[in-house]
Amino acid sequence: MWNETIPEEIRKQIDENTYGLAMASFGGIPLKREFDNEDFCVVGIPYDTCTSRRAGARFGPRAIRAGVHSIAGINEKGIYSQDAHYVIRNLKGMDYGNIPVKNGYTEISFQVIYEHMKNILDHGCTPIALGGDHSITYPELRAYAESAGKPVAIIHFDSHNDTTDTPENRKFTHGTPFRRAFEDGFLDAAHSIQIGIRGYMDSHRLKFAEENGMEVITARELHKMSPEECAERIRAQVKDAPCIVTFDVDFLDPVYTPGTGTPVAGGFTSYEAYELVRQGLTGLDIRGFDIVEVTEDYDPAQITGLFAGYLVVQFLVVLSKNKAEKEGK
Ligand SMILES: [Mn+2]
């Protein structure tokens, strides 16, 4: 038999360790829908009916939650990010669970997504949405724009522009969210930036960006740039506009995020992505984040879920630094 005595201090650690709950909530943070002055709210949006190629992003929220170990201490003790060499100690978070979308019913789902995102924003909480295919960012942007009282800019990491011009009967796909959001007055294109683009760029998508003042950093340009240079380009474009960060995991090379619907080779590493987020997004007026297009079925060894889970932790570093700066600390 073992010694059954557990020292007081260890007992306390065991009782406080909510890692078991991480199977349900993001990193073991409280899973609930009542707000109590939280800074951020992780929310799953399991919708993927607007996918054009490999479906499965409806299971993205599950894969992303499973990819992160524990950030359960964040509400009290804070957590230390070794790579950012930074202690996140000023943030309180919650996991809202998933928005009850109805796959196959795009407009109904968009309405529900908009309503729940608006609810989170109305409570003064920064959403961190886990997709879902990229179409979900369009109803998100409606909520952000209404909350901000004006169109909001995007800092958009992706291999595709997602500004495809489609006929009326195919208005909503995961390749159209930013064109639709712009047409509907939710998107401030003149302060927006798209980073890592390398899809089959028909000229109309490039023309859309050029005509509306949206900056594009192609993958080719980014491969020759340091994270610091990219950060400068982001700040020069976004300035003090209210913005959101929307991150499609196909920004990365398929070697690093195989679990995605429309992978494009020639992309970036996990570390580069983390560095760009940690260094490129501080000091901006960020109203929310999303990470989209994670598909569990194409994700051997949880590579993509793992990347995505810890990308959310990089978002938290940014959120924490921005909050501290705002409060003059
Ligand atoms: Mn996309």
What is the residue-level pLDDT of the chain in tens, covering all 329 positions? 888 898 998 888 777 765 555 567 999 899 999 999 999 999 999 999 999 889 999 999 999 999 998 898 898 888 998 888 999 999 999 999 999 999 999 999 999 999 999 999 999 999 999 999 999 999 999 999 999 999 999 999 999 999 988 888 889 999 999 999 999 999 999 999 999 999 776 677 788 999 999 999 999 999 999 999 999 999 999 999 999 999 999 999 999 999 999 999 999 999 999 999 998 999 999 999 999 999 999 999 999 999 999 999 999 999 999 999 999 87
Measured in angstroms, how far is the CA atom of residue 252 from the centroid of ligand 1? 12
Measured in angstroms, how far is the CA atom of residue 28 from the centroid of ligand 1? 28
How far apart are the C-alpha atoms of 28 and 112, rounded to whole Å? 25
The pLDDT score that the predictor gives to residue 18 is: 59
| Rounded (5°) CA angle 201-202-203 | 105
Task: Give the tokens for residue 115.
Answer: 């309503």
Measured in angstroms, how far is the CA atom of residue 154 from the centroid of ligand 1? 12
| Rounded (5°) CA angle 218-132-119 | 110
The pLDDT score that the predictor gives to residue 328 is: 87
Measured in angstroms, how far is the CA atom of residue 27 from the centroid of ligand 1? 25
Outline where the chain has alpha helix (H).
8-16, 60-67, 106-122, 137-148, 177-183, 203-212, 219-223, 227-238, 270-280, 303-326
Measured in angstroms, how far is the CA atom of residue 16 from the centroid of ligand 1? 38
Measured in angstroms, how far is the CA atom of residue 26 from the centroid of ligand 1? 23
Task: Please state the φ and ψ torsions of residue 271, each to the nearest 5 degrees.
Answer: -65, -40
The pLDDT score that the predictor gives to residue 23 is: 63
The pLDDT score that the predictor gives to residue 143 is: 98
DSSP annotation of 305: H
The pLDDT score that the predictor gives to residue 70 is: 85
Measured in angstroms, how far is the CA atom of residue 174 from the centroid of ligand 1? 6
How far apart are the C-alpha atoms of 65 and 194, rounded to whole Å? 26
The residue ranges of every structural domain in the chain are 8-326
Instruction: Kindly indicate whether the domain formed by 8-326 is annotated with CATH number 3.30.530.20.
Output: no
